[in-house]
Structure 1
């Protein structure tokens, strides 16, 4: 009986850890921040309003801060997708559209953090 209880406890712990490390999540964590599939740092923009369903970063802004593409898969909280003015789907985290930065050249770079006091690395 004790062995059976211990086995169940271990199994529950493994399942819980697996749920937290959701392999189906569109982004992953590295060094305390969200990164895309290539390990590039992901940012939010203060001028975007959470849950508005749109991005205010367009034209020149979008050239410097490319949208993180959402793809066609089903997204689970805290992820969602917005439709940009050009019809493409952009990934959002907790309702805020997500971006990368053109000056980040390799995985782990975060040159855009605090740029213009409006861009922030996603850490939570």
Structure 2
């Protein structure tokens, strides 16, 4: 009798255990998604683009080459396709350099978040988290990244109170040219040879036309990474980034981002110190 009771209790226990296990594994059991505690700009990793900037929900952010001076130029109808991004919250991403994050007040009074001085935008064509469909649009929109060693400006050339075109004729019209990762204009020295700095013979000269020191990191998709390299300038013991073989320089009097005043130095506009344009020809061999 006692044995039968034990058998019955054991059977009931097994049934209860099976029921509990089934309940826990049931696909009908509602699940609560994990809470999103992210704030501010975040970093995400994309298989094609590597490290990219997103908002707190993982939606991709972009840079606009026309904003190289740090002033938002996407206004009016442009905002339909490229809505601005703004967050007053400090980033909670421990891998993001918070010192590179800022904000700018637009002409209409609205605020817009920036990274390395570039105003940040969304792309309306990105429907889902992780989409990066806006990169390369028009050759002037690029996914926002924390590790560009070069960027592109789409801007008017202006020096000596005169506007110049991309051929250095007097006139208006934007030119697409190289800048550093914070929008500062980069120049070539016309007498240089492929991979050879012929200008910098002393630290005094280097102080006037500083070499652009950088590793080859990420570049905007409009730039072929194979066109970017690094040389050593033996006279000053520094590394210098090159594009299509042209050593890259700053002009000391470009005091703010977006300035391209160096084009008139030397023999004439663009003759001695041209901006390094995206479509530049390969530097001549020695």
What are structure 1's unaligned runs of at least 5 residues?
Answer: 1-12
Report the RMSD for the aligned CA atoms in angstroms: 2.7
- Is residue 100 of structure 1 aligned with residue 250 of structure 2? yes
Name which one, 1 or 2, has greater alpha-carbon Rg: 2
- Is residue 79 of structure 1 aligned with residue 228 of structure 2? yes
Question: What is the SS of the residue equivalent to 1:91?
Answer: strand
Q: Which residue of 2 aligns with 1:119?
A: 273
CA separation in 2, counterparts of 1:113 and 1:66? 15
Q: Deviations over 1:96-120 (max 9, x none)?
A: 1000011001111011014103111
Offset, 1:122 = 1.1
Question: What is the SS of the residue equivalent to 1:121?
Answer: coil
Q: Which residue of 1 aligns with 2:152?
A: 29
Offset, 1:89 = 1.0
TM-score by length of 2: 0.34
CA separation in 2, counterparts of 1:109 and 1:15? 27
| 1:55–1:84 CA contact under 8 A, matched in 2 | no
TM-score by length of 1: 0.73
- Is residue 50 of structure 1 aligned with residue 210 of structure 2? no
Aligned length: 110
Question: What is the SS of the residue equivalent to 1:33?
Answer: strand
CA separation in 2, counterparts of 1:87 and 1:74? 24
CA separation in 2, counterparts of 1:15 and 1:37? 19
1:89 to 231, 234, 239: 239
Higher relative contact order (CA 8 A, sep 6+): 1
Structure with the bigger percentage of helix: 1
What are structure 2's unaligned runs of at least 5 residues?
Answer: 1-131, 155-175, 220-224, 279-286
CA separation in 1, counterparts of 2:187 and 2:213? 13
